[in-house]
Amino acid sequence: MKPISVVVHGALGKMGQEVVKAVCREPGMRVVGAVEQNTREDSLSLPDGSGKVALSSDLDKILTDCHPDVLVDFTLAPATRAAVPVAAKRGVNMVIGTTGLTSSDLDEMARLADKHKVGIVVAANFALGAVMMMHLAKIASKYFDYAEIIELHHNQKVDFPSGTALTTARAMAQAKGKPFSLPDSEQGQPPSGRGKQVEGITIHSVRLPGLVANQEVTFGMAGQTLSIRHETINRECFMPGVMLAIKEVVKRPGLTNGLETLLNLQEA
Ligand code: NAD
């Protein structure tokens, strides 16, 4: 079968470099081009020693010259916003991991995907273990009234709580059908100094060098607790999810938001 050809947008960034390495390793896929802003080079040496591919800051030129099946984007939200119409017009499917996109960005992506009959998979978290942690937390939410989240990230992360922790807390309350209960001492009190309270769940944010991205959801009821913990060691943790999305996006026209559908995780 013909390999799936991939262009990486943001190819010299931290995630972009991981994607180039992972695609080179993956059977049935190959990197055919790279896009990076302000680059002086016109080619990128592939990390597996298999040769060089075209590199440019001009996305449209790379897509026209390289005819990829999929554009993988890990850049910045404004760069992604500008790239989506260009790739859609060229009939190129997209896998998007850039964060900071709004719901109107997602609506526009869905419109462009339908108009140009391309697939777009966008996911704020490509770590498959994190997706499963959220799914399992949703299932457990029906049986517990109390829960807290501890999210632990590297000390360069500027936002807190993390987007994943906020999404988890909201999804847990939605699955439960109501907010969780705060401890009696905090009921009706001003916001707690213990952490950010979302849907009755207190989220604690730890920022330390040495960490990548970890999250633990702990539920409590009389005489017992249940913890669901996801840990990551390095950025490679996102690659199985990105590889899955590349394989799936070529078969799925339209917008797919999140990896749950690709993993066949039913609504909890
Ligand atoms: P980074 O700063 O290391 O890399 C971003 C790259 O994009 C840089 O090389 C930058 O030069 C390039 N870029 C920016 N604007 C561009 C443009 N207009 N044209 C071409 N290239 C452009 O950042 P990173 O750590 O690789 O993260 C990238 C994005 O991915 C961020 O939004 C981050 O939050 C997100 N991210 C998502 C996941 C996930 O699972 N979805 C995981 C990690 C990071």
The whole-number pLDDT of residue 266 equals: 72
Give distance in angstroms: CA of 13 to centre of ligand 1: 6
Give distance in angstroms: CA of 143 to centre of ligand 1: 39
Q: How far is CA 92 from CA 79, 89, 153, in A?
A: 16, 8, 34
User: pLDDT (tens digit, 0 to 9) for every residue of the chain, 268 residues total?
Assistant: 899 999 999 999 999 999 999 999 999 999 999 999 989 999 999 999 999 999 999 999 999 999 999 999 999 999 999 999 999 999 999 999 998 899 999 999 999 999 999 999 999 999 999 999 999 999 999 999 999 999 999 999 888 999 899 999 999 999 999 999 999 888 877 777 889 999 999 999 999 999 999 999 999 999 999 999 999 999 999 999 999 999 999 999 999 999 999 999 977 6
* Alpha-carbon gap, residue 84 to 105, rounded angstroms: 10
Instruction: Answer whether 180 contacts ligand 1 (Cβ < 6 A).
Output: no
Give distance in angstroms: CA of 82 to centre of ligand 1: 14
The whole-number pLDDT of residue 1 equals: 85
Instruction: Answer whether 132 contacts ligand 1 (Cβ < 6 A).
Output: no
Instruction: Answer whether 35 contacts ligand 1 (Cβ < 6 A).
Output: yes
pTM over 0.85: yes
The whole-number pLDDT of residue 218 equals: 98
Give distance in angstroms: CA of 125 to centre of ligand 1: 13
Instruction: Answer whether 76 contacts ligand 1 (Cβ < 6 A).
Output: yes
Instruction: Answer whether 125 contacts ligand 1 (Cβ < 6 A).
Output: yes
Angle ∠(157,170,110) on CA atoms, nearest 5: 85
The whole-number pLDDT of residue 148 equals: 98
The whole-number pLDDT of residue 268 equals: 66
Instruction: Answer whether 95 contacts ligand 1 (Cβ < 6 A).
Output: no
Instruction: Identify which of 12, 15, 154, 156 to mutate to test ligand 1's pocket (most ligand atoms within 8 A of the CB).
Output: 15
Count the Cβ atoms, other than its own, within 10 Å of residue 70.
26
Site of tokens 């993993």: 263
Instruction: Answer whether 44 contacts ligand 1 (Cβ < 6 A).
Output: no
The whole-number pLDDT of residue 247 equals: 98
Helix pair 128-141, 239-249: axis angle to 10 deg: 90
Q: Report the catalytic residues.
A: 153, 157
Burial class (CB in 10 A: 0-12, 13-18, 19+), 14: exposed
> What is the identity of the amino acid at 106?
L
The residue nearest atom 12 of ligand 1, judged by CA position, is: 10
Cα 111 versus chain centre, distance? 21
Give distance in angstroms: CA of 231 to centre of ligand 1: 22
Phi-psi sector, 11: left (phi>0), alpha (psi -120 to 50), beta: alpha
The residue nearest atom 31 of ligand 1, judged by CA position, is: 98
The whole-number pLDDT of residue 252 equals: 96
Please state the atom number of ligand 1 nearest to the C-alpha of residue 241: 40
User: What residues form DSSP beta bridges with 217?
Assistant: 149, 228
